[in-house]
Amino acid sequence: MRRKYASLNLGYRKVPYQQQKRHVMISTQTALLRNDQDGLRHAAELLGSGGLVAFPTETVYGLGADARNDGAVAGIYAAKGRPSFNPLIVHLPDLAAVQQYCIVTDAAQMLARAFWPGALTLVLPLRKDAGISKLVTAGLDTLAVRVPDHPVASALLAAFGGPIAAPSANPSGRISPTTAAHVHDGLAGKIDGIVDGGDCKVGLESTIVDCTQKPALLRAGGVPLEAIEAALGRQILQPSDPATPKSPGQLLSHYAPQGRVRLNALKANGHEKWLGFGSVDADLNLSASGDLTEAAANLFKMLHQLDQMGATHIAVSPIPETGLGKAINDRLKRAAAPRN
């Protein structure tokens, strides 16, 4: 009998199952990993060393990184070419693991019991000592979490033993991938591995419910609103309701430091703290060597540090508008925008 996924047509060569080496390299950098013990162990090792690994979930393929590692999370943005830092969803194996990182409110408990594992993401208050990268939360004190319902995702979470941040595994602006071949088409050569788990069942993004206050629907998705309301026994706030929190990406200054921000500063004035980039003598430097991935990894951490330092005025060096620089500048522009 022909084994499922016995061969994978990646467009330029077909590798029969028996002839596959332990891990078939599909480019100089991207390993195609089988969803067996060896492949998953390798995937977990790649994640542990700060690598990027795409893996199947029941919604779409996710592009995973260790959610505690700033550099790895910055790599997600670089690989996808995302023009802005929207917070990412963290994938965990079960409710007990979620409790390590988040405060699970009563409504969240009910929804978790009803729909996890499944296509429902909950936004919850983040625990202070959770150790999640600020680049995952885009500096917010809430965290979006999900327990995926896919044997390969579960096995990878078990093998890795930590939180995996994962947006969809496609270049920004392209269609979400529902097969390993889609991921390969979009991201080969830019990520470290792809775990092949066949087709995704749902093929739709997860439903997002904010449970930090009154439950509110932030995004429609795989779990219908009616089912959520039935599980809670009451109606929840809709995106159109003014009381519903705005999705972070829609807010002009959703995370801004306390101090007033001045962009494209070639030096700091007397009353300013200087957030530098490149070889400048700044109070804090996003990347002294001018590395945009390092700068992205440091961005939210340093904005928080400026708050801790009591900075009332912040001067920021110019950041080149290339690669990750676009997302960094987008966030800085929001931080510098006038506030109410």
| Binds ligand AMP by CB under 6 A, chosen from 31, 111, 208, 335 | 208
Q: Which of 35, 137, 142, 168: binder of Mg ion (CB under 5 A)?
A: 168
142 binds, among Mg ion, ligand AMP, none (CB under 5 to 8 A by kind): ligand AMP
The option from Mg ion, ligand AMP, none interacting with 137 (CB < 5 to 8 A, set by class) reads: ligand AMP
Note whether 87 binds ligand AMP by CB under 6 A: yes
| Candidate ranges 116-124, 138-146, 164-172, 301-309; the one touching Mg ion (CB under 5 A) | 164-172
**Any contact of residue 123 with ligand AMP (CB under 6 A)?**
yes
Exactly one of 24, 110, 130, 140 binds ligand AMP (CB under 6 A); which one? Answer: 140
Find the part of the chain contacting ligand AMP (CB under 6 A) among 63-71, 96-104, 138-146, 185-193.
138-146
Which of 144, 180, 286, 328 touches ligand AMP (CB under 6 A)? Answer: 144
Part of the chain binding Mg ion (CB under 5 A), chosen from 7-15, 162-170, 271-279, 312-320? 162-170
89 binds ligand AMP (CB under 6 A): yes
Which CB atom, from 168 or from 285, has the smaller least distance to Mg ion?
168
Token duo for residue 16: 């029969």
| Partner in contact with 218, chosen from ligand AMP, Mg ion, none, beta carbon below 5 to 8 Å by kind | ligand AMP
Residue number, 200 or 315, with CB nearest to Mg ion: 200
Q: Report the residue from 70, 149, 205, 272 that binds ligand AMP according to the rule CB under 6 A.
A: 205
Contact between 178 and Mg ion (CB under 5 A)? no
∠ at Cα 6 (171, 45), nearest 5°? Answer: 55
Residue 168 in contact with ligand AMP, rule: CB under 6 A: yes
d(CA 248, CA 14): 43
Handedness of CA 63, 80, 135, 144 (dihedral sign): negative
Residues belonging to the chain: 340
Binding site partner of 88, from Mg ion, ligand AMP, none, Cβ cut-off 5-8 A by kind: ligand AMP
CB of 35 to ligand AMP, least distance (A): 22
Binding site for ligand AMP (CB under 6 A): 86-89, 123, 137, 140, 142-144, 167-168, 205, 208, 218-219, 247-249
Binding site for Mg ion (CB under 5 A): 168
